[in-house]
Structure 1
Amino acid sequence: MKVYTKMPKALQPFYQEELTKAAVALKKGHYMISWRHLERAHILAQPYPCQHTTVHWRMFLFGIKVKNWKEVMGQIPRLLVGGIKSFVGNIPVGNTGGANVPPLLPMEIAKDLAEIINNTKTK
């Protein structure tokens, strides 16, 4: 079991870019685009407790903003245990993190994100 505590520096700009794109799209009212960037940030952040929890917090706030109470309620348990599961290395790889998918379901990772993850693991 591999325990991750800190996101590699080489991965941080890609993660931050997804969060920034999500925020910009949300501000413009482009909710589907914003959500997609949050999902991508979640995939990048999953192994890292702080960043993983941050994405779930952003998803929670997104749910409030768009008045999606299913999403708000679905993010509460993810906020409580997501970071812990990251810390102990027990994550469903590729899961997009929203209440619209089962929290323990592994999912296929988009090719571009898989390349980013593989190219930044050791840097």
Structure 2
Amino acid sequence: MPCPHPYEPAVRAAYRNEMNAARLAADGASRWRHLERAHILSQPWPWPHTRNHVAMFVLAVAQRDRREALGQAVRIIVAAPGSAAGR
């Protein structure tokens, strides 16, 4: 099922900015904050939404946060279909 909303250039740019800021952030708390913002922006679009959860999973593993890593693993599986279905 195709995404019902076009991925507007301004939203795409804001998403990329947040993802880049997360990569460049000096500490874990800042990384999470940028990833959370990117998550909000990416929710209607399957692939950016899934990429965001992958980045969150990678950060959780790097921080040795098993609970968060498990939660993100589940979200990776449901993110694309959920976004495509509009949920």
Task: Report the TM-score when normalising by structure 1.
Answer: 0.65
5 Å matches for 1:15-94? 15-25=15-25, 28=26, 30-90=27-87
For structure 2, list consecutive stretches of 5 or more residues without a partner in the other structure.
none
Pair member with larger Rg: 1
For structure 1, list consecutive stretches of 5 or more residues without a partner in the other structure.
91-123
Distance between the aligned counterparts of 1:63 and 1:3, measured in 2? 28
Task: Report the TM-score when normalising by structure 2.
Answer: 0.91
Q: Deviations over 1:24-81 (max 9, x none)?
A: 11xx3x1101100000000000000000000000000000111111111011110001
Number of matched residues?
Answer: 86
Please provide the CA RMSD for this pair: 1.6
Contact in 1 for aligned 2:3/2:46 (Cα 8 Å): no
Could you tell me how far 1:11 is from its partner in structure 2?
1.1
Stretch moving more, 53-62 or 68-77: 68-77
From the two aligned structures, give the one with the greater helix fraction: 2
Letter paired with 2:46 = P
Letter paired with 2:66 = W
